Amino acid sequence: MAPGNTAAAASPRPLPSTGAVTGVLEALAFFRDGDFARRRFERFGNVYETRLLGQPLVFIRGGPAIQALLTQPEASEGWWPASVKQLLGSRSLANRNGADHRARRRVVGQLFSAAALRRYSPGIVALVNALAAELAAATAAVPLVDRLRRFAFTVIAQVVLGLDGGDRDALFADFEIWTRALFSIPLAIPGSPFARALAARQRLLARLGEVLERARQQAGQGLPLAGGLDLLSGGLDEAGLPLTDDDLVEQLLLLLFAGYETTASSLSCLLAALLQHPRELAWLQEELDALPWPPAPGEAATADDAAAAPRLAAMVQEVMGLNPPVGGFFRRTTRELVLDGVAVPAGKVVQVALAASNRHGPEDADMSLQADDLEQFRPGRHLGEGSGLTLLPFGGGERVCLGKALAELEIRLMAVGLLKQVRLQLAPDQDLSLQLVPSPSPRGGLLVTAPARTA
Ligand code: HEM
């Protein structure tokens, strides 16, 4: 057992440190070693401090430490590296705290209500059917990672924001420039990736502003509207005033950032796992055979949920547990906090290490939950009484993922729609190992052939 996990009730222990001074070697190790955090957890315990390129960071893992952080929201605030902070913008809810943050979550959350998801479902079903038709007609192997990325982007840009083809492609091109600099050094030297990203950000905001204005005009004239932007009208800020357009467009940019790569990663990892585990795939397919496709009109948003398709829900949990699309997220402490028996002083940046947590069973678990077993692909563990694991792929507490319901809907509809319509097969000789940055995804692009299913 790692040190320090036994006596949470006793007086808190001081924060263990790796002793890194400049953080240069630690940063190199962080980018090269997928096991960076886990190795140090084994050595220093579930809460320790290190330094990455001059930035002190407290890594935490495990249910007790993570729950203690998330259930005391008044003791911490959101935090992002300077590059992300600048590219998202000061108005973005990701960079706000307290009442400012809650008010914007209420406004943006209207895009993900049950009624909004019912509205989006036919558009998502149509995109799934288009991909199934493309796969069935293909005469050569198709790189599924690329198609799933396109799908996830289109859901946000077209189905949620209502952009049409031309606008969507221009948005995508600028979005790619913007994303490339997200975790770079935030110096806007002319010609640098960061300077190009700042310019792309201005174009993205301008385009999103036009889309918002168009939606407002169409809604005003009673014209039918693509997407859900009319749902934002009337959203108020913390002082009860309508949000300005400058404020709203920064929230829309955040949705592209938060919802695209993450959802594409979960879809790619799910299908890659299924194709590498034929027994589990056959077990799932039995359940899918009993479900209708397409779902009955008006029912797509709930037709394949955990009650109707428990095996699918267990599969998704297993894949997101093993390969969380967001490997970690940050907070900064605003007062001293005791996390799993360790005193973390005020002003510390904390990294919640989800990926490392999920491969580490509860401290009091019996052998069936220990590390070796957690590495196995065993979706059945989530059925019945559940696994007892604290898996938080969508985070938790006041900053829990705003798009969780949409992401889960996309995953369900893609899994059911694709697996019912085509017989996916892995093309031979490809690299199925996962690249981990920015989100897990099969290195070889997940090449598949997919004849249509006949029965
Ligand atoms: C499988 C897909 C997804 C995963 C695994 C995921 C995961 C997460 C995680 C871990 C957080 C951070 C929570 C925290 O800081 O405590 C987050 C935040 C967020 N997510 Fe997602 N997400 C996904 C899809 C989406 C989608 C589709 C959208 C919207 C289109 C979205 C919008 C957001 C927003 C706006 C936040 C910021 C919330 C805040 O700071 O209050 N996410 N997500």
**Is 154's C-beta closer than 6 angstroms to any atom of ligand 1?**
no
What is the bridge-based pairing of β-strands 447-449 and 441-442? unpaired
pLDDT at 189 over 80: yes
Q: Residue 447 carries which side chain, given as an amino acid letter?
A: L
Relative orientation angle of helices 261-276 and 278-289, to the nearest 10 degrees: 110
Q: Which of 70, 401, 411, 441 to mutate to test the pocket of ligand 1 (most atoms within 8 A of CB)?
A: 401
**Is 439's C-beta closer than 6 angstroms to any atom of ligand 1?**
no
Q: Which of 69, 252, 262, 350 to mutate to test the pocket of ligand 1 (most atoms within 8 A of CB)?
A: 262
**Is 394's C-beta closer than 6 angstroms to any atom of ligand 1?**
yes
With the CA atoms of 85, 90, 93 and 96 taken in that order, what torsion angle do they form, in degrees rounded to the nearest 10?
90
**Is 357's C-beta closer than 6 angstroms to any atom of ligand 1?**
no
d(CA 325, CA 33): 17
Query: 425 CA to middle of ligand 1, Å?
Result: 31
Domain locations along the chain: 24-449
Q: Cis ω on the peptide bond leading into residue 294 (within 30° of 0)?
A: yes
Query: 252 CA to middle of ligand 1, Å?
Result: 13
Query: Tens digits of per-residue pLDDT, 295-306?
Result: 998 898 988 999
d(CA 6, CA 163): 54
Contact predicate 18/56, CB 8 Å: no
Name the β-bridge partners of 143. Answer: 447
Query: 409 CA to middle of ligand 1, Å?
Result: 14
d(CA 252, CA 244): 13
Polymer length of the chain: 455
Protein residue closest via CA to atom 17 of ligand 1 = 401
Query: Tens digits of per-residue pLDDT, 19-78?
Result: 998 889 998 888 888 788 889 999 999 999 999 988 999 999 998 999 999 999 999 999
Query: Tens digits of per-residue pLDDT, 223-258?
Result: 878 888 988 877 777 777 788 999 999 999 999 999
**Is 273's C-beta closer than 6 angstroms to any atom of ligand 1?**
no
Query: Tens digits of per-residue pLDDT, 318-374?
Result: 999 999 999 889 999 999 999 999 999 999 999 999 988 877 766 555 444 555 677
Protein residue closest via CA to atom 3 of ligand 1 = 262
Radius of gyration for the chain, computed over Cα atoms and rounded to the nearest angstrom: 22
Name the β-bridge partners of 51. Answer: 56
Average pLDDT over all residues of the chain: 90
In sequence order, the 6+-apart residues with CB closer than 8 A to the CB of 279 are none
**Is 158's C-beta closer than 6 angstroms to any atom of ligand 1?**
no
What CATH topology corresponds to 24-449?
A: Cytochrome p450 (1.10.630)
What is the bridge-based pairing of β-strands 55-60 and 434-435? unpaired
**Residue closest to 343 by CA, chosen among 4, 38, 51:** 4
